[in-house]
Structure 1
């Protein structure tokens, strides 16, 4: 964990506050897209991916959405190696699953800690947004070239215009789901957005976020030329609820039934994605297979409201302590993940369950 900053003495009465330190202007979204362009074939594929995910959420497509990948990307080369493995698996299971790569480059923090590759490309560094934006954009365009849809959690709304064109499924996390700017951002984003229940485990905040995102809003945004501008969103009808647990898990049949009831009471579609990690596994990656097995049973028994499953997965099993020395490229630096050899059987089990449900 990064050390906290020492307290600063307040300014003398009547004196202006000091200006914040800066390191120079950032590239505009248009400049970054010119430097790391999204090829037309990738852009067309992303548009198709978004529509496919919408079809799964609306149950026009009977397959199951599965979002799999590392808790956070810290090594682009290793992340692309993982993407290659997942892309092969996605083709194998494409009749039953819509597999999406978790490509998270921003990390929310309760107090302090590493905030992700986009904002701090050197783990433990002071932060280099210019280098992070370039490294992050490069990674996302390369990952999109694998043919996989990409998942992304939007933490800082200012960065959304730099990366949104590469993303097919988005998340608003448990720490930001109550935030009005994030709800308004979700109403503007051009892809389905999952709203996670807050860390307390309650559903009301996330359900309200789904409602808010469905409406049109006026919000500030960074324009393609880098200036702050006003945009009018049209509302995101594909916003939906993600159950990620809290102090206790919320993935069993009774929890799913309660989620359906909360959505129905709010006049929203009864569709739920369940995160097998975080509060639902007690942040113990070894419990994820048990969570997935329970969800597969519910799916096989015909629960069509359970439209998706999230799995924290990476090349190697577990996590590493960043303070122990040189970072290993294949091991998570944030939440512990299931290694690839333990992930593949879970995809197989979910495919079997989705096939049984559709039959």
Structure 2
């Protein structure tokens, strides 16, 4: 018998439904397609400066309880409608979570929150949740982590991010070049901006890479390049980068790279030291700079949930606090509403 050289460390290999099959099972529909298309046009106008409203990408760090997530979406949709003349509000709908070592990897990977990793069910829940948010009139935003995931859910997403851990990844730059929505690249966890700038340049150009077709077949994918990529400042190991000097330095770097002077600034992550109590002041400073005339700051990001803070996980599901994050800590709904109303009042 020959030595075993394949799948030595594979415990199981479960086939997924094809993207086309899942889309047929949980269809998008013409009205949702029109809404997603229109929201992407609006986002491009914001990025290019034709739309003077301030973009706010706000919502839970991650979706783990879809019922609580929909309650949050209802509240946000009502607020977004009231503030629509000054703010363009997009809901964070994050299903994939990059982990520094190990931990819960998001609703798509582990929808039952029990380590069973029922990915087919996770993909179904993600599509169903996105449809529910869109039906409320809210554009959706997510981080795309696994390069296969977009084939299953990207048709319901208005804006996406490539995170700090993957901005240097060739795979993610190639994937972004073929995505149909605007894509923001975060600076790296160290705070390096060059990687994000290089990512924007790479993703804006045609790429060819290995992918998956709608029929679920491995394929060679060739893109035309994504012209709507941009940089997100999220701070780094050496401190925050939302202050005026950091913004100025980032704009100079963009100019040097011959890229448009458009930035989104994240009020969470390293910019608030991962302390949600500091997030409101960071957001207020971002808004202050925009109100003072810095039109290069086209938007900001906030991590927000029904209940402030975060809770340890794993634990028995009946012990989880409803509406509180199981990943990064978030500000609560009341603080979120106050901040967004304040921003609309000064912009």
Aligned pair partner of 1:294 in 285, 289, 301: 285
Asked if the contact 1:184–1:219 (Cα under 8 Å) also holds between the matched residues in 2, the reply is: yes
Q: CA deviation at 1:291?
A: 0.3
Number of residues paired by the alignment? Answer: 343
> Following the alignment from structure 2 to structure 1, what is the Cα–Cα distance between the partners of residues 74 and 4?
57
* 1:269 pairs with 2:264: no
Aligned pair partner of 1:235 in 211, 216, 225: 225
Asked if the contact 1:114–1:124 (Cα under 8 Å) also holds between the matched residues in 2, the reply is: no
Q: CA deviation at 1:23?
A: 4.7
Aligned pair partner of 2:88 in 82, 98, 111: 98
Task: Determine the structure 2 residue equivalent to 1:6.
Answer: none
> Following the alignment from structure 2 to structure 1, what is the Cα–Cα distance between the partners of residues 72 and 161?
21
Q: CA deviation at 1:323?
A: 4.0
Q: RMSD in angstroms over aligned alpha carbons? A: 1.4
Task: Provide the secondary structure at the position in 1 that maps to 2:240.
Answer: coil
* 1:205 pairs with 2:195: yes
> Following the alignment from structure 1 to structure 2, what is the Cα–Cα distance between the partners of residues 269 and 352?
28
> Following the alignment from structure 2 to structure 1, what is the Cα–Cα distance between the partners of residues 85 and 143?
27
* 1:125 pairs with 2:115: yes
Aligned pair partner of 2:205 in 192, 203, 215: 215
> Following the alignment from structure 2 to structure 1, what is the Cα–Cα distance between the partners of residues 120 and 157?
20
* 1:284 pairs with 2:275: yes
Structure 1 runs not aligned, ≥5 long: 1-12, 355-359
* 1:16 pairs with 2:5: yes
Structure 2 runs not aligned, ≥5 long: none
Asked if the contact 1:299–1:353 (Cα under 8 Å) also holds between the matched residues in 2, the reply is: no
Aligned pair partner of 1:77 in 40, 45, 67: 67
Task: Determine the structure 2 residue equivalent to 1:45.
Answer: 35
Task: Determine the structure 1 residue equivalent to 2:216.
Answer: 226
1:1-359 equivalent positions in 2, closer than 5 A: 14-19=3-8, 20-247=10-237, 248-325=239-316, 326-354=319-347
CA offset digits 1:167-189 (Å, max 9, x no partner): 00100000000000100111100
Q: Which moved more, 1:322-331 or 1:141-150?
A: 322-331
Asked if the contact 1:74–1:329 (Cα under 8 Å) also holds between the matched residues in 2, the reply is: no
CA offset digits 1:131-180 (Å, max 9, x no partner): 11111111111111111000010000111110000000100000000000
> Following the alignment from structure 1 to structure 2, what is the Cα–Cα distance between the partners of residues 327 and 312?
19
Q: CA deviation at 1:221?
A: 1.9
Asked if the contact 1:67–1:309 (Cα under 8 Å) also holds between the matched residues in 2, the reply is: yes
Q: CA deviation at 1:46?
A: 0.5
Task: Provide the secondary structure at the position in 1 that maps to 2:123.
Answer: helix
CA offset digits 1:221-241 (Å, max 9, x no partner): 211111111221111111000
> Following the alignment from structure 1 to structure 2, what is the Cα–Cα distance between the partners of residues 44 and 324?
41
> Following the alignment from structure 1 to structure 2, what is the Cα–Cα distance between the partners of residues 306 and 353?
15
TM-score norm. by structure 1 comes to 0.93
Task: Provide the secondary structure at the position in 2 that maps to 1:229.
Answer: strand
Task: Provide the secondary structure at the position in 2 that maps to 1:41.
Answer: helix
> Following the alignment from structure 1 to structure 2, what is the Cα–Cα distance between the partners of residues 18 and 68?
41
Dislocated runs of 4+, deviation >6 Å = none
Task: Provide the secondary structure at the position in 1 that maps to 2:49.
Answer: coil
TM-score norm. by structure 2 comes to 0.96
